[in-house]
Each structure stands twice: as C-alpha cells, then as structure tokens.
Amino acid sequence: MAKSVTLVEVGLRDGLQNEKTPVSPETRIEFARRLAAAGIKRMEAGAFVRADRIPQMAGSMQVVQGVLELQKNKRIPKDVEFSVLVPNEKGMLEAIASGAKEVALFAACSESFSLKNINCTIDESFERFAPVMKLAKKHKIRVRGYLSTCFGCPFEGEVPEARVVQIAKRMAALGVYEVSIGDTIGVADPGQVEKLFKKLLKHIPAKKLAGHFHDTRGQALANILTTWRLGVRVFDTSLGGLGGCPYAPGATGNVATEDVVYMFKGMGIHTGFDLDQLIALNPWVAEKVAHTLPSSVGKAGRLKPLGKVSKEDVK
Amino acid sequence: MAKSVTLVEVGLRDGLQNEKTPVSPETRIEFARRLAAAGIKRMEAGAFVRADRIPQMAGSMQVVQGVLELQKNKRIPKDVEFSVLVPNEKGMLEAIASGAKEVALFAACSESFSLKNINCTIDESFERFAPVMKLAKKHKIRVRGYLSTCFGCPFEGEVPEARVVQIAKRMAALGVYEVSIGDTIGVADPGQVEKLFKKLLKHIPAKKLAGHFHDTRGQALANILTTWRLGVRVFDTSLGGLGGCPYAPGATGNVATEDVVYMFKGMGIHTGFDLDQLIALNPWVAEKVAHTLPSSVGKAGRLKPLGKVSKEDVK
C-alpha cells in the first residue's frame, strides 16, 4: 500500500451548498485559487443545477470558467483538476460549455433520499446518467460518481449493505473512473465502514473507490483511518468543515480538510498539502460564510510551544 | 483480545476543573448519580487539591462522601468505582478521611508542564508519591497513575518518547494498578500514538495501560481506535466533552464519552452504557456549566429516521 493519500476538496460545492450565506462567484474563484496554493490537486468547483433550488451554486459557470482562466494564466498550477456536479443532460451541456474536463454524477442509496434530494427515483437518476455518459465519452470528459446515504438515510434510517453494493456496482459499470461512497448524514462508525468497504472491495478495486465522510457524530477521522487501512487512497474533505448537516441542526457536516491532513501527516503519509496555509484559510472563509468554521485543527492550530519554564519562573 | 472496553469518566474532575463556571458539590453528586445510571462503572469524583488554586474542585470531600452515601443507599450501583486525585500526602490523608477506595496520582512528562501545573519538578513529584503509596498500602486503597503531556507539551513542544517510556515505567514501578497515558493538549495523531504505545507495551502489559486523549485537534477517536487495536482496553472520557483546553482557547478538551461510546457500540464492542441516557445528560450538564457542550453525538444525537418519502410526497 502506497504511503500517500489524495484528498478531493468539496468545500466549494458540497460545503458551500449547505451554507446559509451564499458566496459570490468572484469569492469562490479566489477560494479555489487559495486552496490550490495550499496544495490541493483535486477540487469540486461548483454544480450545474437549478439556481432557484440551490441558490448557493448560482454562477457556477462563472466559477468554472474563472478557475480555468486562472489555470491558463498559471495562477493555479496546471495539475489541479476541477470537477463540477451535473444532475442531468442539461447540466452536462453547461459543463461542456464551461470547458470543464471532469464532471460528477450523484445517486442515492435510499429511494426516499433520492426523491427528496433530486426529485426522482434511483432508477430514474440512472436513466438520466445515460445521455450524460454519452456526452462525456464524446467530449473526453472524466466522470466521477457520488453515492449518497450509503450508511444511513435521514428518512428511511438503515440502508441495507447489499443495496449499496448493488448501486455502487451499477455506478461503476456506467464507466465512471471513481465511486465516492458517502456517509451523507455522518452516522457511520468504523465497524460499519469496515464491513461495507470489505464487501465493496470484492466487486470494485480500491483504486476506483473513495470515501466521503461527514463528521456529524465525530466519527469521520476514525472512519477514514479504517477505510485507508483497507487500501482506499482517496477521501473527500471540506476546508474548515464547511457545510452543515441539514438533518442535524447545529451539527457539523463534511469532515474538515485540515483535520484529515493533520492525521495523515502525523502518520507519515504524503498529502502534498501545506497545513499552515489550510489553517490560515479558516478565518478568511469564516468571514465569507459569516460564522466560525467547525474544523478542530482550524480552531486549535498546530502546537506552538510557549517556551521552557524554569524553577525560577514558578517561584 | 476481548471485545469489550472500559471507559473512565473524568467529567467530574478533569472536565469540571477546566470549566469557568464552578459547579456546586450537590450538583456534582447528582451528576455522578446520573452518570452511574447511564452505566458508567469507573468515575473520577474530585480532587483533594488547594481550593485557592483550583476552586472548581472545592467541596470534593462533600462530593466523595455524598456519592459513597448514595452507594450505601443503593441509589448508585455498588459496582461503581470512584477515584479521587491526590497531589501529595496531605491530599491522601483527606482521601482516607473521605472513605475513598481509590486515588489517582499525577505526573508530567515535561519539566515545564510539571513546574507550571503542580509547581514541582518531575523528580519532586515522585518524591511526593512515596508517602502516598505507603498510606495507600496501609489503608488498602487502589492507586491509579496519570501521565500528562505524553505526546507534546504546551511549553516545550515535543516530548521525547524515551522519556515518556521511562516515566511510565517509574510510575508503574510505584505499584499503581494502571497508568493512564495522557495527550493533555490534544496534539497526538494515530501515527504518534501507535509508535509510543508499541514502545510502552514492551515494558508495561496492555491491561495496566489506559489512554487519555483530548479531542483538541479532532484526533481523539482515531487515536483511541489505534490504541484499542494494540490491545489497550481502558480509556478516559468526559461526558459531553466537558473541559476546554487552556492552551488552545475555543478548542475542545477531553474526548466526549458519547462519541467514544457511539464508535465502540458501532464496532460491536461491549461498553455497558446507555447511549440515549448519555446524550440526554448533555443539556442538563450544559445548563450547569452555562455553555453548549462540544460533544458531536451529544449535539447530533442518534439517527432518528424522519419517515419514508413516496413519489406523491415530492410532486
């Protein structure tokens, strides 16, 4: 097992999408630039969804074009990969128009969540993926697949493992290069994670799987560690833990990028990130979304020794 | 490796000691009763320290006598074990007078922390332990040892592993039944934890070791999981994550009992706790200390499904 890990920064999409305060496209472009400067190589830039339903993602066209422009002007390193979420063919056409080289699809493992979240059944969502995949092939656009509610659904509760495995196989069979297994509401624990991923790995190779954990119940790092030990090397994280959990008010959502980087760096695993720059981004982003970010490392920072104490000092 | 884990509840001592709002002895007794009702079998009840230095621990005599009285009256199960921190012979005499059957000693792994925290060098702290151990033997009182700053010191920064191993051996040699290895300021990561515990386990058997992790940088659960995998079965936790971190303002201190229970229950490991009762204790304790508690599971609760959604519901 290679001693490295890749993080996919989802703060700009999954993070901001769940924030109350919308952030302007200009600020999102600058956010992407700062993330790239801190060493992030894979990033979600936005979503081509209905702005009346998800106003936080309005202006995603401007954001995608903006970051690609910065990349052309070498203000963002050329090896940074941007992805954009597309729910259907219409979104895919916008992605093509934007110049995006990667898109992400999104399916749920529970019918209730699929209906509530994307207003169609799971089968219907896969029907929508067919023309998207066709266009992707034609335009040589990489496609990533997200699977949500893999460990529990806010409406149905338990989600059967067999169903998750079946939908993950279906997603992989579409031709996506990676399937991100999501704990959308942060209910998973390391026991459940180990069981599900062991089953998934019987059908999908580790290099095609990613873990997407929310820290709602504080389990995300333990879950990531468990998944990493099974050979998975890609995890979705969000700067500062951006994005709350709509199903648990007051609780956190996406696991914070800095917390994950702190862990892997401590384990001697290469991440390619500058932890200090990630930490420094916290107050900047906090100002934009108008609240303190939940990230633990973002709040506590690194250990900065106060200086040795001698016997004379405490007399 | 047995599929069980023991948690030592430190909320009443390590937790409350770091809270700004002092809590009355009467409330602390009721807190202990509620913790015991939720299944907690080992608990720190207080500390016989100078009330002018640590006012939060004032009235510890009343607390210890109060919980023992409740136990006599069967309002606290008789298998619950209470411990009280004693810094020296004077504290030990108070512990004996209180009727406590277990005490805890405290030593640091960094000279600066020892000087700042207990106003003596590490050697001097061990000198103070000698008469305490003698009295403990005479009065058949169990003694537990705490080692602080095992993974980093707020003043000196890095703490050499060899020194931690040496002080842990010295503590074990005193005759304590268990040495609790503390990440006092929450800087440890799973890599560091694995390295240090592997070294400790060469000298001290797993059944004599405990892990005491703070969640300041979000690593506590990953650290506990790592330590558990090495065979250690006892961890110190604090209800709701009570107790901040004086060296990282705004950051959390002790790992929350509920977060740890959630993880181990999910892993199918016996804890003996009623998670719902622990969660329900959060608002009660929050009121006493006058702020929301940082525990993730305490805030988010368990997954409570909202009910199935049908196609008609989303039309």
Predicted confidence (pLDDT) at residue A112 exceeds the cutoff of 60: yes
- Taking CA atoms, B51 is separated from A88, A183, B46, B69, in Å, by 66, 47, 12, 23
pLDDT in tens, A120-149: 999 999 999 999 999 999 999 999 999 999
Predicted confidence (pLDDT) at residue A314 exceeds the cutoff of 80: yes
Is A226 within 8 Å of chain B by CB? yes
> Looking at chain B, which residue has its C-alpha nearest residue A120?
B311
Pick B308's closest partner by Cβ from A155, A215, A310. A155
- Return d(Cα B272, Cα B267) in angstroms, integer: 14
Mean residue pLDDT of chain B comes to 96
Q: Quick one: what percent of chain B has pLDDT higher than 90?
A: 92
Are B216 and A245 in contact (CB < 8 Å)?
no
Confidence of residue B1 (pLDDT cuts 50, 70, 90): very low
- Taking CA atoms, A275 is separated from A236, A256, A261, A287, B96, in Å, by 16, 12, 7, 20, 50
Are B189 and A262 in contact (CB < 8 Å)?
yes
Lowest mean pLDDT among A189-198, A238-247, B4-13, B101-110: A238-247
Q: Is the distance from CB of A123 to CB of A82 less than 8 angstroms? A: no
- Return d(Cα B186, Cα B210) in angstroms, integer: 16
Mean residue pLDDT of chain A comes to 96
> Looking at chain A, which residue has its C-alpha nearest residue B279?
A217
Name which of A237, A296, A297, A311 to mutate to probe chain B: the one with the most chain B Cβ atoms within 10 A of its Cβ. A296
Is B56 within 8 Å of chain A by CB? no
CATH superfamily name and code, A6-314: Aldolase class I (3.20.20.70)
> What are the tokens at A273?
């990130």
Closest chain A C-alpha to B221 CA, distance in angstroms: 6
Mean per-residue pLDDT, A99-112: 97
**H or E element, residue B314:** none
Residue B276: HSE in the Cβ half-sphere, 13 Å Cα cutoff: 2
Are A190 and B266 in contact (CB < 8 Å)?
yes
Q: Is the distance from CB of A215 to CB of A241 less than 8 angstroms? A: yes
Is B87 within 8 Å of chain A by CB? no
Amino acid in position B159: V
Is B81 within 8 Å of chain A by CB? no
End-to-end CA distance of chain B: 53
Contacts of A259 in chain B (CB under 8 A): 217-219
Contacts of A248 in chain B (CB under 8 A): 299-301
Confidence of residue B46 (pLDDT cuts 50, 70, 90): very high
Q: What is the DSSP string of chain A?
A: --SB-EEEE-IIIIIHHT-SS---HHHHHHHHHHHHHTT--EEEEEE-S-TTT-GGGTTHHHHHHHHHHHHHTTSS-TT-EEEEE--SHHHHHHHHHHT-SEEEEEEESSHHHHHHHHSS-HHHHHHHHHHHHHHHHHTT-EEEEEEE-SS-BTTTB---HHHHHHHHHHHHHHT-SEEEEEETTS---HHHHHHHHHHHTTTS-GGGEEEEEB-TTS-HHHHHHHHHHTT--EEEEBGGG-SB-TTSTTSB-BPBHHHHHHHHHHTT-B----HHHHHHHHHHHHHHHTS----HHHHH-S--------GGGG-
Q: Quick one: what percent of chain B has pLDDT higher than 70?
A: 99
pLDDT in tens, B89-148: 999 999 999 999 999 999 999 999 999 988 999 999 999 999 999 999 999 999 999 999
Residue A6's nearest CA partner among A37, A40, A38 is A40
More confident residue, A245 or B166: B166
Pick B222's closest partner by Cβ from A155, A248, A263. A263
Residue A229's nearest CA partner among A243, A250, A211, A251 is A211
A147-182 per-residue burial string, b: 16 or more CB within 10 A, e: under 16 = bbbbbbbbbbbebebeebbebbebbbebebebbbbb
Pick B299's closest partner by Cβ from A251, A295, A303. A251
Is A145 within 8 Å of chain B by CB? no
Query: Residue B100 in 3-state DSSP?
Result: coil
pLDDT in tens, A156-184: 999 999 999 999 999 999 999 999 999 99
Backbone angles phi, psi at B60, to 5 degrees: -65, -30
- Return d(Cα B298, Cα B283) in angstroms, integer: 9
Pick A307's closest partner by Cβ from B155, B222, B251. B155
Contacts of A314 in chain B (CB under 8 A): 115-116, 119
A-contacting residues in B 164-223 (Cβ below 8 Å): 185-192, 215-219, 221-222
Are B305 and A153 in contact (CB < 8 Å)?
yes
Residue A268's nearest CA partner among B237, B267, B190, B293 is B190
Pick B216's closest partner by Cβ from A263, A300, A309. A300
Contacts of B112 in chain A (CB under 8 A): 308-309
What is the pLDDT at residue A3? 82
Predicted confidence (pLDDT) at residue B189 exceeds the cutoff of 50: yes
Lowest mean pLDDT among A202-211, A249-258, B159-168: A249-258
Q: Is the distance from CB of A248 to CB of A22 less than 8 angstroms? A: no
Predicted confidence (pLDDT) at residue A252 exceeds the cutoff of 90: no
- Return d(Cα A270, Cα A145) in angstroms, integer: 25
Confidence of residue A247 (pLDDT cuts 50, 70, 90): confident
Predicted confidence (pLDDT) at residue B27 exceeds the cutoff of 80: yes
Are B155 and A190 in contact (CB < 8 Å)?
no
Q: Is the distance from CB of A212 to CB of A196 less than 8 angstroms? A: no
> What are the tokens at B225?
């999981």
The pTM score is 0.96
Are A266 and B192 in contact (CB < 8 Å)?
yes
Q: List B85's β-bridge partners, or say none.
A: B47, B104
pLDDT in tens, A14-45: 999 999 999 999 999 999 999 999 999 999 99
Is A117 within 8 Å of chain B by CB? no
A248-272 per-residue burial string, b: 16 or more CB within 10 A, e: under 16 = beebbbbbbbbbbbbbbbbbebebe
Domain-wise residue ranges, chain A:
6-314
Predicted confidence (pLDDT) at residue A7 exceeds the cutoff of 50: yes
Contacts of B268 in chain A (CB under 8 A): 191
Closest chain A C-alpha to B31 CA, distance in angstroms: 23
> What are the tokens at B84?
């009280």
Catalytic residue status for B245: yes
Residue A151: HSE in the Cβ half-sphere, 13 Å Cα cutoff: 29
Confidence of residue B2 (pLDDT cuts 50, 70, 90): low
For A279, residues 6+ apart whose C-beta sits below 8 A from its C-beta are A258, A297, A298, A301, A302
Are B303 and A185 in contact (CB < 8 Å)?
yes
Query: Residue B143 in 3-state DSSP?
Result: strand
Contacts of A256 in chain B (CB under 8 A): 218
> Between A and B, how many CB-CB pairs are < 8 A?
172
Confidence of residue A116 (pLDDT cuts 50, 70, 90): very high
What is the pLDDT at residue B314? 86
> Looking at chain B, which residue has its C-alpha nearest residue A310?
B112
> Looking at chain B, which residue has its C-alpha nearest residue A119?
B314
Is A50 within 8 Å of chain B by CB? no
Residue B9's nearest CA partner among B57, B56, B41 is B41
B-contacting residues in A 228-247 (Cβ below 8 Å): 245, 247
- Return d(Cα B231, Cα B172) in angstroms, integer: 18
- Cβ-in-10-Å burial (0-12, 13-18, 19+) of B107 comes to buried
> What are the tokens at B187?
């800087």
Q: How many CB atoms lie within 10 A of CB B119?
A: 15
Closest chain A C-alpha to B187 CA, distance in angstroms: 7
Are B252 and A296 in contact (CB < 8 Å)?
yes
pLDDT in tens, B193-220: 999 999 999 999 999 999 999 999 999 9
- Return d(Cα B276, Cα B268) in angstroms, integer: 17
Strand extents, DSSP E, chain B: 6-9, 42-47, 81-85, 102-108, 142-148, 178-183, 209-213, 234-237
Pick A155's closest partner by Cβ from B112, B119, B307. B307
Count of H helices and E strands in chain B? Answer: 12, 8
Name which of B193, B228, B267 to mutate to probe chain A: the one with the most chain A Cβ atoms within 10 A of its Cβ. B267
